[in-house]
Amino acid sequence: MRKVLLATCLTSVAALAAGGAWASEELVKMSANPKDWVMPAGDYANTRYSKLNQITAQNVGKLQVAWTFSTGVLRGHEGGPLIVGNMMYVHTPFPNKVYAIDLAQDNKIVWRYEPKQDPNVIPVMCCDTVNRGVAYGDGKIFLHQADDKLVAIDAKTGQHVWTAVNGDPSKGQTGTSAPLVVKDKVLVGTSGGEFGVQCSMTAYDIKSGKQVWKAYSEGPDDQILFDANTTSLGKPVGKDSSLKTWQGDQWKTGGGCTWGWISYDPQLDMVYYGSGNPSTWNPKQRPGDNKWSMTIFARAADTGVAKWVYQMTPHDEWDYDGVNEMILSDQAINGQPRKLLTHFDRNGLAYTLDRTNGELLVAEKYDPKVNWTTGVDMDKNSATYGRPKVVDQYSTDKQGEDVNTKGICPAALGTKDEQPAAYSPDTQLFYVPTNHVCMDYEPFKVSYTAGQPYVGATLSMYPPPGESHMGNFIAWDGKTGKIAWSNKEPFSVWSGALATAGGVVFYGTLEGYLKAVDAKTGKELYKFKTPSGIIGNVTTYENGGKQYVAVLSGVGGWAGIGLAAGLTDPTAGLGAVGGYAALSNYTALGGTLTVFSLPQQ
């Protein structure tokens, strides 16, 4: 299986290099080298899988801290470092510092970059001042700043090369996502769904920073880049498919933000990503399906034109953003080889689709406590094919404004938020960090003012009835839609997972533990408590012939916003402060990179 995957990868690399489609042949070569980690998710398929195997299920219990690095910044540290040859690139939350560290010179800081940003951007950032990572390509580091500027930095010198203005913070547009280099372009989304932004995905020229294409999540066809060939579940979407599902001009403040992860299939030349919640959180104020919020987009890399789309949660009533990563794999289903896309949505459903055409193959709950829906209609002859079956008791729209709908599972932060899962071709399992949290949700009427919060709901969060733990780390079979094994955690698992060829899976906990578990059984093999809660993504690399595992710790993000921002009102942080109040008993603010390795033999 490994040989087949390697051959496929090398074939793709050779084709790209021969065709001259990439601006940086160096990036193509490095992406196939497991010693480096040159993309935010490790590879274009967002698998977060490494072929490195020095660290195994048999010896991982001997891990030791090799070295540490303080970022000098507090608040939530999401994302993880890039490793390009001997250089490591570490990023921080606002003010979005970037450090270049030479791994061959005793981890010397070669350069540091700190953009000058208006601190007024901080209160416009919905759920902490996080940043999910930088990208590399064409000898540059690409940083998506909090003020929604995309910046290119010379990877060797740290000198500024160009800046692209992606959005306007005064209108609520901010930057938290990791860019992705695709061919001769840099792709980046935007945040701002809680401020009524009409959100988009944009491609910039890697050399100059000039805009190549911009695709909105909602609006007229020429803005969302739909054409006559764009389909949904195998059928043409039709003209003005988005406009028909909004009342009047509501689409102009419709949200559908794109602050999650981006995947790319070089053979199909398609990019994949998800859009977030419609604005406002009060569903009574925006009747209709609100397309194309809550949607998986498959777009042509060169033009941005959508090939297919699939809306997971039409007329979202719970803030179940669809921005989580799209993991690409090639597997056989019922004996038939398929090019698959697997997505663990905030709404608590895990989806498997054929990424060539958007055919829906699997849609199942990946937490049994999910109750707002009984499941997705999988009957292709049904008028509601592909739609979730909503339970009236948990419909915040049917209950109405100023009514507190209680016991909805999952909470608004979803069964999984942006913390990325991993996929191992060795086990053909997905390893998923999850939230095990329910909520009460009370919508209220709100008016739109540019640059001001446009939420319209009050929330409270808590574990499912009769249970005390708020997280699970699970192994998922994407072909059957079943949980293979599940490990309970006291708090939500808000760290990105890492799967390795050594048969070990790593993840972090909100209390601050780096944990290693057996890929096949889930048995805990190792844990170490880092200086602060972990919401970063675990990374591995090889340097000097030795495998290392690295993770950023620094509690924050939506789950840790109470600690990060010093909030105490239980309803603050969109309900997270009360739900995670006990977290302060286990960890405190920090900003540290901790790197692990096996002891010298």
C-alpha to C-alpha distance for 445 and 129, rounded to whole angstroms: 27
Write phi, then psi, for 483 (nearest 5 degrees).
-80, 125
Rounded alpha-carbon distances, angstroms, from residue 361 to 385, 478, 487, 548: 12, 10, 27, 37
Contact between residue 392 and residue 414 where contact means Cβ atoms under 8 Å apart: no
Rounded alpha-carbon distances, angstroms, from residue 567 to 444, 492, 520, 560, 586: 22, 19, 40, 10, 17
What is the DSSP annotation of 24-40?
-HHHHHHHT-TT-B-ST
Set 36, 138, 319, 417: catalytic member: 319
Residues 6+ apart with CB under 8 A from 45: 263, 265, 327, 328, 329, 423
C-alpha to C-alpha distance for 416 and 89, rounded to whole angstroms: 27
Sign of CA pseudo-dihedral 30, 35, 41, 43: positive
In this structure, the number of other CB atoms found within 10 A of the CB of residue 336 comes to 7
319 is catalytic: yes
496 pairs with which residues across the strands? 537
The token duo for 440 is 């009460």
The token duo for 449 is 């003012």
C-alpha to C-alpha distance for 225 and 109, rounded to whole angstroms: 43
Largest CA distance in the chain: 69
Annotated catalytic residues are 319
